[in-house]
Structure 1
């Protein structure tokens, strides 16, 4: 019987402690029982920060193995060169509205209830019976046409942008923007349907012909279609929320429809259009915060400002042409509360204020 001591020593794989890179890093609150991989804006993280910040992993911050997915024969994750704008820290942006999944459902459901009650009460009270023909024709043609602009921006502008942004915080804000536009376009469509089914002399199909062929709407349609063909996501957001919405969107919604509806015996349309204006108020807030951050960036601020002024040179003339072409619709309602020149001056003033808040130069075209 062989001596047990003569047997060869067995070989086993040696245990090697690799110390996972992600778990070994030191980050804010890493020694706390309740920690975050980021530094909250205030003493404690808000719910928005907890569910949004760093949900989309970025290898430039915490992951050393690269993006967890990518594109075939192309860059991985969310390439920064999808825009000419530069930031020393894209993750610095936090939505001032603190929008995330719960808030978008809560806020939009509240608006839907408001619009639904408004339309139900209008039908019950026979509110449309007091409309004159010029006003019902104005709504059928022009508010119906604007529905196409809102729908185009929802589907082909903001839905496109939200896939290209480099952080989850920007993506969330833009995705909410897309939902706002889609909901508002649907509200206008339902309003059009209600009016078509009422006893009012209302042409519910007029908006198609107006959007496709009416001379006053073709420059607006052209700008919307050119926006959808813009590849740089930051330029697309800038051109839409900073330029187009100020010079065309608010000009039509706020400086025309909201101003003259009541004088023409219509208290329903301002309620519906007002929800779109409230949406833009919120969307303008996150847009202003984002571009302020880029203009004030210590490393890239000057270059970004020059870039944005170049974008203004491209899009301001186009949007002013679209705004000017809409002038004839100011004369269509029976009761004309304000002139086109007054409305355009108000839109230009608000646009200039927004540019000053961002930190950009006022285009010379606004002084003409």
Structure 2
């Protein structure tokens, strides 16, 4: 039998990589060696880190997206429609958050606040600070500060979380998202404080805040105000009605012009340190709100129309918040030591609103003078 004939090895060939200069990669751009972004105009001579990591993270067809939005919704709208608010702007991208909030600052600032609160509460426990509270002040805190926790959580979760996606630029959305984080963190701080006081052996009822929020006549105006704010569809109207009207007339009235004023006179040096963090949050949130609305009311093309629209919104929401504030009047008589009367606190809150309206060029309504 003949031996099988061995076939010659097949010659194999492999494609060889061929390196060529791609047109864009081969070009020498003026900023090729730059370590900073220059696809936007910074507010000052040099871009800040905040601008570098926030500006144009979400581009739109007005900037860079030459073929339109890369995604859309079932109804045909794409991306971030500008008609999700009735306010108009000739350039939404002009807004810069005066707080310059970005990922690092969000975690750093809130971590510092939580650390401060934890230290204060730990020191209060060691010093048995709660044991010196008068029974009347215990009742005031368990009912009213506990009820306020519901307002903070509801506003943060159902107003700001809802509208932080709707603004047409990432710069605005970031600021609103931080606003929502502030509210929910402060509500959590109040909840944890409520638990601490429940364990302090001072007769503190940590569950009564639920019935107060749902049934106490003094709190039903605030509850109605907060719940109506959650139903606003226009994100800018929600921002204006909440941060400008509700927060100055109701939030500031309760936090700053009541609790912060009378706590020490009632032997309580712990609650002001906690509530003060909420006031500091609001100060920052009002700063970005004023900055954004100021740009819109001074817009060269739409400014006059925007002012008229803010007046319309003010006429709708001012009576709601004035009613909520006035309904709170009975709680001024709860503490044994009352430093300021309700009329003075209410007048100070209305002055706060007047200041914001004057800054925005919105005429003062006659209701504020009543």
How far off is 1:32 after superposition?
2.2
Could you tell me the TM-score, scaled by structure 1's length? Answer: 0.92
Larger radius of gyration: 2
Indicate the residue corresponding to 2:183 in structure 1. 181
How far off is 1:201 after superposition?
1.2
Return the match for 1:329 from 322, 328, 331.
331
Q: Which runs of 5+ in 1 are unaligned?
A: 1-18, 24-29
Moved >2 Å (runs of 4+) = 30-35
Indicate the residue corresponding to 2:366 in structure 1. 364
How far off is 1:288 after superposition?
0.3
Alignment of 1:128-277 (within 5 A): 128-277=130-279
> Secondary structure of 2:165's partner?
helix
Could you tell me the TM-score, scaled by structure 2's length? Answer: 0.91
> Secondary structure of 1:318's partner?
helix
How far off is 1:74 after superposition?
2.2
Indicate the residue corresponding to 1:49 in structure 2. 51
Cα distance in 1 between the residues matched to 2:291 and 2:62: 23
**CA-to-partner distance for each residue in 1:94-113, whole Å, 9 max, x for gaps?**
00000011100000000000
Indicate the residue corresponding to 2:31 in structure 1. 32
Cα distance in 2 between the residues matched to 1:74 and 1:120: 54
Cα distance in 2 between the residues matched to 1:339 and 1:197: 32
Cα distance in 1 between the residues matched to 2:113 and 2:71: 37
Indicate the residue corresponding to 1:101 in structure 2. 103
How far off is 1:68 after superposition?
1.4
Indicate the residue corresponding to 1:77 in structure 2. 79
> Secondary structure of 1:163's partner?
coil
> Secondary structure of 1:276's partner?
helix
Cα distance in 1 between the residues matched to 2:90 and 2:115: 42
How far off is 1:73 after superposition?
2.8
Moved more, 247-256 or 58-67: 58-67
How many matched pairs?
Answer: 343
Indicate the residue corresponding to 2:126 in structure 1. 124
Q: Which runs of 5+ in 2 are unaligned?
A: 1-22
Return the match for 1:288 from 280, 290, 295.
290
Cα distance in 1 between the residues matched to 2:59 and 2:293: 23
**CA-to-partner distance for each residue in 1:18-48, whole Å, 9 max, x for gaps?**
x99xx9xxxxxx7423342101111111000
Cα distance in 1 between the residues matched to 2:272 and 2:362: 32
Cα distance in 1 between the residues matched to 2:72 and 2:104: 29
